[in-house]
Homo-oligomer: A and B are copies of this chain.
Amino acid sequence: MLTLYGMPDSGNCYKPRLLLAKLGRPFRHVAVNSITGETRTATYLARNPNGKVPLLEFEDGRFLAESNAMLLHLAEGTRFLPADSHERALVYQWLFFEQYSHEPFIAVRRAILKYPERASQATPDRMQQLFEGGTKALEVMESQLAKTPFIAGDALSVADIALFAYTQDAGFAGYPMDRFPHVEAWLERVRADEGHVSLEWLP
């Protein structure tokens, strides 16, 4: 059975949980708290030298890091990754967009507002910079979702799962979601897709 090491309330850790739940694939979950240093122990760093969660352990003892790499790997041959080469390339595009242009703003602003340990980072300049970067990411999503029902085209893919993870908390993180009606409608479409589970769900 697969083992997923993760922090239950992290959006990045939620991504593979959501996909595994939708695939009906059983897995063991091991809670690891990156805020209290559990990802910096020698044991953990031997498994993932980058010291991050989530981390996936396969039946044969091999490991895979990076939430979006897990999504691509686990989605192979399923409805969550298009068979058409160009459609699949667009899924890649949005997965990299998520990690470079979306998560470093929206996930970080959410974390600063959510975790008391990070409250000292809430300087006006930093919060404004995170607001601007995240707003730009939501604008890019809004322009795409005005054209297609899901972010990479007509069907839900792992790119939607990746972007859903933190976009669902963008309102909490202080972004003006009423400016992004297509994003809000898309959030509902992702929630309505078969087999959806919320961030709180654990196996």
Contacts and interface: CB of A to CB of B under 8 A. Distances in A.
Interface residues of A, number: 34
Interface string A87-109: 01110110111011101100000
Interface in A52-87: 52, 58, 62, 64-70, 72-73, 76, 85-86
Contact of A97 (B65, B70, B76, B103): B65
Interface string A139-161: 11001100000000000000000
B49 A72 contact: no
**So how many copies of this chain end up in the complex?**
2
B104 A66 contact: no
A90 B64 contact: yes
A73 B95 CA distance: 13
A25 to B, nearest CB: 15
A128 interface: no
A69 B92 contact: yes
A89 B101 contact: no
Interface of A: 49-50, 52, 58, 62, 64-70, 72-73, 76, 85-86, 88-90, 92-93, 95-97, 99-101, 103-104, 139-140, 143-144
